[in-house]
Amino acid sequence: MDDNAGVGTERGVGTSSNGGGTSSDHDFTALEPTTLSVKVERLRRLYKADDYVHTVRRGEDGTFGLGLSEDNEIIAFYHEQNTDKLRLGDQVRSVGSVPLVREKLAVLLQRHFSACETVELHISRSSFVEEKVERSGEVFAALELRDRRGENLDEWTSELWELKTDAVWGTFWTVPIQPRTHTICVGLRESHLFSEPLIGCVEIPIASLAKETLDCRWYALRAEDAEHDSREIEGEILLTTRRFYSSASICPDRAAFSENDSDDDWEPSGPVTHESMPMAPIDEPADLAVDLPVTHGSRR
């Protein structure tokens, strides 16, 4: 469902069982979701590649003629219907707007596109003519909230992780959404002794994340200075996102914020930190005090 389709209903006056509206309903529905959850599930194909969208057609046998790996990489062609557009090694990421995550392409096609003669495949294709070189070493991820001008409103970083493209990472953040947030940016960086070079990042408009919906899909990692229409990518990242309403106990500052308040009045509430407090000295009774002999270390 289009995220904007329900705006009129959600911003309207809530109704009770007797047909009357309540101010509490109106106050709640007038607010945008207050909390964002982002989880980095996996990384893959961390090398230079190009992003394509190709329309493929069924052959005479009624299939698209594609043989795929467990990760939906094209490893064989069963007929020549689509060989002019696709190549061996192409990674299928989605079909139209439907993400392809953990299931096989054939299963997704059967469930959503069984009656379609043609479909759009979003793929990535390696830019290397010879053997591809995967990245290695320690990496970390960073989540940024940015406003319309691209200025950083807040940032959180993950722990260091030994890069593995065949394993689940699982690092995540659950953070309050500031009112001026327009875009979230997830970046992947290498960890070196004196530098932290960016491998690539993905920018996601906050409004594109459906409210109260858990979404999991592969995104292309792009260089920070990449042109908007550039095909070149640096790898792929699997993200699970959710934009939802939280209670006051989770986000007390934001729950009290309304549309009539100024953005300048909003101060983000970061994670609560707990510090150990020093213990008070214990007074021992004087009669229990014992004079210990002074010891001297041996001289060598």
Residues 62/206, Cβ–Cβ less than 8 Å: no
Total domains in the chain come to: 2
Domain contains 234:
yes
**Among 36-50, 116-130, 153-167, 196-210, where is mean pLDDT lowest?**
116-130
Question: How many Å apart are CA 151 and CA 172, to the nearest integer?
Answer: 22
Residues 192 and 231 in one domain: yes
Question: How many Å apart are CA 151 and CA 149, to the nearest integer?
Answer: 6
The dihedral region occupied by 166, where left means phi > 0, alpha psi between -120 and 50, and beta the remainder, is alpha
Domain boundary (79, 102, 126) is at: 126
> Which two three-digit tokens encode residue 206?
């906050």
Q: Is residue 137's pLDDT more than 70?
A: yes
At residue 214, what is the residue type? Answer: L
What would the pLDDT profile of 7-39 be if each residue is shown by its tens digit? 333 333 333 334 444 444 444 445 788 999 999
Share of the chain above pLDDT 70, in %: 70
pLDDT of residue 191: 94
Residues 183 and 40 in one domain: yes
Q: Which residues contact 109 (CB under 8 A, 6 or more apart)?
A: 64, 95, 119
Average pLDDT value for the chain: 80
- Percentages helix, strand, coil for the chain (3-state, rounded to 5) are 10, 35, 55
Residues 38 and 173 in one domain: yes
Q: Is residue 55's pLDDT more than 90?
A: yes
Model confidence, pTM: 0.72
Tokens 């309540």: give the residue. 22
Short-list 246, 291, 288, 285, CA closest to 269: 246
Domain contains 202:
yes
> Which two three-digit tokens encode residue 10?
């959600």
Short-list 25, 11, 36, CA closest to 254: 36
Question: How many Å apart are CA 152 and CA 155, to the nearest integer?
Answer: 7
pLDDT of residue 127: 84
Q: Is residue 79's pLDDT more than 80?
A: yes
- Show the domain range for 176: 32-44+133-248
Domain boundary (201, 229, 248) is at: 248
Domain contains 161:
yes
Domain contains 280:
no
Question: How many Å apart are CA 108 and CA 123, to the nearest integer?
Answer: 15
pLDDT of residue 229: 79
Q: Which residue has the higher pLDDT, 74 or 246?
A: 74
Q: Is residue 132's pLDDT more than 90?
A: no
Residues 113 and 163 in one domain: no
Mean pLDDT, residues 161-186 = 93
Domain boundary (109, 126, 143) is at: 126
What ranges in the chain are assigned the alpha helix state H? 7-10, 23-29, 105-112, 252-255
**Among 48-62, 111-125, 148-162, 286-300, where is mean pLDDT lowest?**
286-300
Q: Is residue 268's pLDDT more than 50?
A: no
